[in-house]
A = this chain, B = another copy of it.
Amino acid sequence: MEKYKIIEIQRNVLANNDEKAQMVRSSVKDKKYFLLNLMSSPGSGKTTTLVQTINHLKSKFKIGVIEADIDSDVDANTISKTNAKVIQLHTSGMCHLDASMTESGLEALGVDGLDFVILENIGNLVCPASFDTGATKNVMILSVPEGDDKPLKYPKMFRVVDVLLINKMDTIEHFDFDLDAVSKRAKEINPSIKVIPISAKKGEGMSPWFDWLIQQIEATK
């Protein structure tokens, strides 16, 4: 049996992505699961964070993952080892997921019986910020090596997310990264943003993240 499907998305940019996103969100609500849109730069640790998260929550919840990439199935392969339900979406070169692609992904994944579905968006701080996927909540990861100036350069991304995970905290002594400065810059753009420093690789600082997720998932029931 195949470990996961690979879906090739056809380009179909809708005139009204926001309308489609509301349809997706409404369907997600009806089906009583939590749909999370996870965004970041390439290589910030989205997949490692997901593996830790799935392994922590899988005894409590049924979890599905939609991996979006331009190419390859590296991430779907990694996620499949957690035994979560997973598919790989290829976005036909597009730099973001929109609501229509999300709908196709959810259909291909099959959400019946799932409590929690994660969209791992394309690694990109620009395009994904402009397209509502229909997810219940949006989260971004910023990793320490990327630098603390990112809220200044990519304000839209910081504006649209509910939670900012600061990953690779275990490497902070090797980089010029001011955690207080980045939190302050993010909160100037988005006062309600929740900032959680973690090391996904070491599994450190993850409890506030897991607690937030559990609260969100339980709120859908």
Neighbour of A153 across the interface among B72, B147, B153, B168, CB < 8 A: B72
CB-contacts of A36-54 with B (<8 A): 41-44
Neighbour of A174 across the interface among B44, B93, B174, CB < 8 A: B174
Whether A145 and B127, one on each chain, are in contact in the complex, defined by CB atoms closer than 8 angstroms, is no
CB-contacts of A7-65 with B (<8 A): 41-44
Residues from chain B with a CB closer than 8 A to the CB of A152 are 71-72, 74
Residues from chain B with a CB closer than 8 A to the CB of A43 are 41, 143, 145-147, 150
Interface size on A, as a range, is 35 or more
Residues from chain B with a CB closer than 8 A to the CB of A146 are 41-44, 145
CB-contacts of A135-164 with B (<8 A): 143, 145-147, 149-150, 152-156
Neighbour of A123 across the interface among B71, B94, B145, B153, CB < 8 A: B153
Cα-based distance from A71 to B44 in the complex (angstroms): 21
Is A70 on the interface with B (CB-CB < 8 A)?
A: yes
Considering the complex, give the chain B residue whose CB is closest to the CB of A78: B149
Number of copies: 2
> Which of A93, A145, A156, A171 is the most central at the interface, judged by chain B CB atoms within 10 Å of its CB?
A145
Residues from chain B with a CB closer than 8 A to the CB of A42 are 41, 125, 146, 150, 153-154
Considering the complex, give the chain B residue whose CB is closest to the CB of A171: B174
Whether A168 and B145, one on each chain, are in contact in the complex, defined by CB atoms closer than 8 angstroms, is yes
Is A111 on the interface with B (CB-CB < 8 A)?
A: no
Distance between A179 CB and nearest chain B CB, rounded to angstroms: 15
Cα-based distance from A67 to B52 in the complex (angstroms): 37
Whether A171 and B154, one on each chain, are in contact in the complex, defined by CB atoms closer than 8 angstroms, is no
Whether B123 and A69, one on each chain, are in contact in the complex, defined by CB atoms closer than 8 angstroms, is no
B-contacting residues of A (Cβ < 8 Å)? 41-44, 69-72, 74-75, 93-95, 122-127, 130, 143, 145-147, 149-150, 152-156, 168, 170-171, 174-175
**In the complex, given contacts A41-B123, A143-B145, what are 5 additional A-B residue pairs having Cβ atoms less than 8 angstroms apart?**
A41-B42, A43-B146, A43-B147, A123-B125, A145-B171
Q: Ordered nearest first, which 7 A-B pairs have the shortest CB separation? A: A43-B146, A145-B145, A95-B126, A72-B152, A43-B147, A41-B42, A41-B41
